[in-house]
Structure 1
Amino acid sequence: MNPINNSIKLVEGAYSPINAADVLLSLIADKIKFHNLQILSSKDKNDPHIIHAEMRILELKASRDVVIKLIIQARDQGLYMKIDGIVNIKMFKKI
């Protein structure tokens, strides 16, 4: 079976810094929450999925810091922020 690919436009548009903050920081917070729940529900703390989740949380927190800096910069300069967020989805059978 060939992989099936789909793209979904999750976020699109120009936003004021405050609205951009709502959109972007909410997405990041939800992903951090998702990974935290994975970690909390696992009984084996050495599970590779848990190690990946912990690393992803660190990456997401670093991304959050970058987003905050960009939002502050846009706010201070009176700029809007154009956000294009596309999620690519590929379905496949795990071997």
Structure 2
Amino acid sequence: PDSDLLKQIIPDGWARKKLNLNDVERDLSCLSACRKLKDDLNSLENIQIEILKLLLTPSDVLQHPPSSKFLFITKFRLFLKENLSDSPVK
């Protein structure tokens, strides 16, 4: 969310106050930790995407009866279609 939305959700968290050097140092430290966490989460998300790509590759489609992997793919794609309107899965 952008700053305006956050101000609406948490108005008391956006009070203007005079900052001293300790506050600035604490805020910079927090921002640095947030950036590192964001980068780490992006890496984790990319790994999860690659795992899902492997899982969603239908290498055993012609098997009879259908494999558990194929059943998972079918159910998961249906779940994505129903729950993610902007999903690239068609």
Q: Shorter-chain TM-score: what band?
A: 0.3 to 0.5
Q: TM-score, normalised by structure 2?
A: 0.37
Higher relative contact order (CA 8 A, sep 6+): 1
Larger radius of gyration: 2
Q: TM-score, normalised by structure 1?
A: 0.35
Higher share in strand:
1
